[in-house]
Amino acid sequence: MFTQVWFWCFVASGFIAGMCPFGGISGTLNLIARIVFMVLVFFKAEEWWYGLILIAINFLVPLLTPRVDPHAMTGGGRLISVVGNIVALALTVVSYVSLL
């Protein structure tokens, strides 16, 4: 499991999404896509319990990610945050493709 691309893309997506508080529609899409992906892993992965590990990781990654104060961010920081959320969404899509 730890050598599969979809796993690391999922972890990286969660880390990037946690670091970027401003995402708009891409942040919302990423959140929905990550929830659907966790359910999909139960049925499509090699072992069903991989889904349980992903659920645990989904709750652990935000605890390990440093918090960013959205009020202290400048315009450039907000732009980087939006781009970061788009990258996180792209990593979630790569997770889907590599799982299927």
Q: Write out pLDDT tens, residues 12-55.
A: 888 888 888 777 787 788 888 888 998 988 888 888 888 898 88
Q: Does residue 93 have a pLDDT over 80?
A: yes
Tell me what pLDDT residue 22 has. Answer: 77
Give the whole-number percent of the chain exceeding pLDDT 70: 98
d(CA 75, CA 51): 38
Residue 16 has a CB neighbour count (10 Å cut-off) of: 23
